[in-house]
Structure formats: C-alpha cells, structure tokens
Amino acid sequence: MSARPIPLIDLQAQYARLQPQIDARLRAVLDHARFVLGPEVDALETELARLTGVRRAIGVASGTDALLIPLLAHGVGPGDAVFVPAFTFVATAGAVAMTGATPVFCDVDRATFHLDVGDMARRLKQLPSGDLRPKAVIPVDLFGLPCDYAPIRDFAAEHGLLVLADAAQSLGGARDGTPVGGLAPITAASFYPTKPLGGYGDGGAIFTDDVECANQIRTLRAHGQNPAGEFERLGLNSRLDTLQAAVLLAKLATFDADLARRAEIAARYDEVFAEHFGLQARPTGAVSANAVYSILCDDPEALGKALRGRGVGTRVYYDTPLHLMPSMRRFAAVGDPPRVSEWLSQRIISLPIYAELDDEQVEGVCAAVLDAVARK
Ligand SMILES: *Cc1c(COP(=O)(O)O)cnc(C)c1O
C-alpha cells in the first residue's frame, strides 16, 4: 500500500519540476509588461500550429470560448440544432446554448465513450420538422482519446453540418498519424490547469487550416475589431493572457515527454485492470493524450470511498449525463434517452494519471484498487 497519499492530480509537484523555466518565463512578462496579446501569445500560437501541423492556432480565454467562438464565426444561433454527446463535460453543450442554438443530446459508444454516429443519424431524422435546422456536430475526444473522424466527416458532408472537434482533453493525441488539431475543420482545446497541457488559470486555443476563418476568430476574440481597427462585428473579450502563454511555453518544452509518461502509466493500468473492470477501448491508430484514466465498476461510490481510505484520490467524470442536468432540461429530448450515457455515468470512476507519478506511486494505485475490490 502506498505510504504517501496519491492525489488525483498534483499541480504543486508539476510546478516543482518546472519551476526555474516557469519563473523565468513569468519574470520576462513582468519585465516587458505586455500583459494582453504580448509576444508570448504569438510565440505560443506559432508553436501550437507547428505541434499540430495546422496553419493557424489562435489563443483564447478558455476551452469553453474555444467552442463558442467558432460557432459564432459560423453564424450558429437560434433555430439551429447542434449534435453533442450526452456523456461529456457540460461546456460542450453550454457553448451551443450560449449562441441560442439547441443542443441535441446523442448517445455514445459503449467501448470508446465517443459520439455514436448511428445514434446521431437516428436523432437527425427525428428532429421536429420545420423547428430546427441541423447545423453542426461537436464530437468530443473524451478522456484524451481522439475520435474516429472519418464517419463523422462523411455524415456531416451529407447533411451540410459543421464539424467542431472538442479537443479540450486530447491536445497532444493523434489518430492515424494526424495530430489532434488537424482531425476536423476546426478544433477547440483547453489549457485549464488539470488538462494535459495546463496553464495557471483559464485558457484555450482554436485550430484551423482555414485562414479566412482564423481571421474571423481573431476579430471575434477581441471585441469584433478587425485588423483595420474597425469594430466590424459583435465580439467577445476572449484573449489568452500573456502570463498564461508564458507558463504554457515553459510546459511545452516537456510536453512530449509528459505525454509519453502518461501513456506508460495508462498501459500499466490497462494491464492490471483489464481483467477486473470495463476500460475505454484503445482503437488501433489512436494515440490518446490520457487526460483522464477511468474504470467502470458496479459501485463507483464505494470504490471511491475505499480508495480515499487507502490514500488514493479519485473523481467521477461524469456522474450526470448532460440531458439530466438542470441547466439542460429545457431542451426537449429528441428521440429516446441516451441509455449508454446514463449507464456509463453510473459506473465510471477516474484514477490519478500525470507525468509526475513515479513507478512506486503507480504500483501503489494498482495495489490499492485491487485491495479495495478484493475486500468488497
Ligand atoms: C475542460 C473541458 C471543456 C472546457 O474547457 P475550459 O477551459 O474549462 O473552459 C470543454 N469540453 C471538455 C470535454 C472539457 O473537458
């Protein structure tokens, strides 16, 4: 059993590892004092575009805004239906609702936990005719595992839908050799502190190869002001802080190594837990960023309690599917309740996974989980 407690996430350990680099980057910003759209933001955007192989990366104030702004850029609003998985973080649908459009909650696949394209196709046919236009789909790379975008792209092309990838958890991942960021026409990422590439506050980025769209997004993130200085359209104040960009630049230096360590831990967990629990499938060709490591069991509450007693931090992502949340209930259900999403939300629990965990801690988590299930 583990001697030291193992928290679900340990941001202090992360800072301790990178302190000199982070402090130097922050100091430089304090010295030049260009706190909004300073040179670190440009440098980060260039680095992120290179990392993902897309033409444009645009820093914004949060992952939620990274979803909202592309929807606004494409004129999504009242009367539009946007397909989202029911099993995700609330912001995937929250961004849709903020535009005035209607989220349509689709079920997810039992193996990958990704948007089920067949289920989405059935719901599209069931939209109340005349009331809602199918307009966009937001697949979510849940827990860091990139979706299979080919069938989504085909479906979207057939029905004229925009595909906006919610890559809040998957930056650094890839599918069939294409890095996250280039898997959909437009992609949203988050730098929330607990994400695989996290800042020290809120932040996000939008990725696209469409230069015209990227220009619109730059206008929208800064009060709707275009490069000529005119306030061309209604916009937001949603710039990425220079201080956040500085932290992220420091962390980018070890990002590949951090992802490799996460993958190593996930492989060890898979090996130990496969015979005891349901696990998220890992399709060939998919490289996960391993943002979250989850297992499925009959009583996640009891397991969480038992693990807490053994010094291991856990959390449930997510115990309530979106269609059952008070803020989302006003959206009329289209079709049957998403049963797999409900089933998953009653069985799932997440374990510690981050680059700072050493082998002893990883084995400590494994032993604690196995001990907890043996004594049930
Ligand atoms: C974190 C997250 C978001 C929102 O990102 P913020 O930076 O917290 O606004 C959106 N979607 C998913 C799936 C997330 O995990």
Instruction: Write out pLDDT tens, residues 171-181.
Output: 999 999 999 99
Give, in order, the Cα–Cα distances in Å from 300 to each of 33, 176, 276, 347: 48, 33, 13, 6
Read off the pTM: 0.98
User: Which ligand 1 atom is nearest residue 291's CA?
Assistant: 15
User: Which ligand 1 atom is nearest residue 202's CA?
Assistant: 7
Q: Is the pLDDT of residue 209 over 90?
A: yes
Do residues 165 and 187 lie in contact, with contact meaning Cβ atoms separated by under 8 Å? yes
pLDDT at 375: 79
Bridge partner residues of 127 (DSSP): none
141 Cα: distance to centroid of ligand 1 (angstroms): 11
Q: Which amino acid is at 301?
A: E
Residues 6 or more apart whose Cβ sits within 8 Å of residue 196? 144, 169, 171, 172, 255, 258, 259, 262, 289, 290, 291
Helix (H) / strand (E) element for 228: namely none
Rounded CA-CA distance 214/199 in Å is 23
195 Cα: distance to centroid of ligand 1 (angstroms): 9
Rounded CA-CA distance 27/208 in Å is 31
Which of 241, 254, 173, 346 is closest to 29 using CA atoms?
241
Give, in order, the Cα–Cα distances in Å from 275 to each of 102, 270, 298, 375: 41, 9, 14, 17
pLDDT at 3: 67
pLDDT: which is higher, 4 or 200: 200
190 Cα: distance to centroid of ligand 1 (angstroms): 6
pLDDT at 244: 98
Rounded CA-CA distance 44/70 in Å is 20
Residues 6 or more apart whose Cβ sits within 8 Å of residue 109? 115, 116, 340
Is 88 close to ligand 1, i.e. is its CB under 6 Å away? yes
User: Which ligand 1 atom is nearest residue 140's CA?
Assistant: 13
User: Which ligand 1 atom is nearest residue 195's CA?
Assistant: 1
Is 141 close to ligand 1, i.e. is its CB under 6 Å away? no
% of the chain at pLDDT higher than 70: 99
Do residues 161 and 155 lie in contact, with contact meaning Cβ atoms separated by under 8 Å? yes
Mutation pick for ligand 1 pocket among 166, 206, 322 (CB with most ligand atoms within 8 Å): 166
% of the chain at pLDDT higher than 90: 96
For residue range 141-159, what is the model confidence (pLDDT) as tens digits? Answer: 999 999 999 999 999 999 9
Is 164 close to ligand 1, i.e. is its CB under 6 Å away? no
User: Which ligand 1 atom is nearest residue 67's CA?
Assistant: 10
- pLDDT band at residue 376 under the 50/70/90 scheme: low
**SS3 at position 185:** coil
| Locus of tokens 């719901």 | 123
Kindly state the average pLDDT of the residues 201-223: 98
- pLDDT band at residue 230 under the 50/70/90 scheme: very high
pLDDT at 129: 79
Q: Is the pLDDT of residue 168 over 70?
A: yes
For residue range 282-317, what is the model confidence (pLDDT) as tens digits? Answer: 999 999 999 999 999 999 999 999 999 999 999 999
94 Cα: distance to centroid of ligand 1 (angstroms): 10
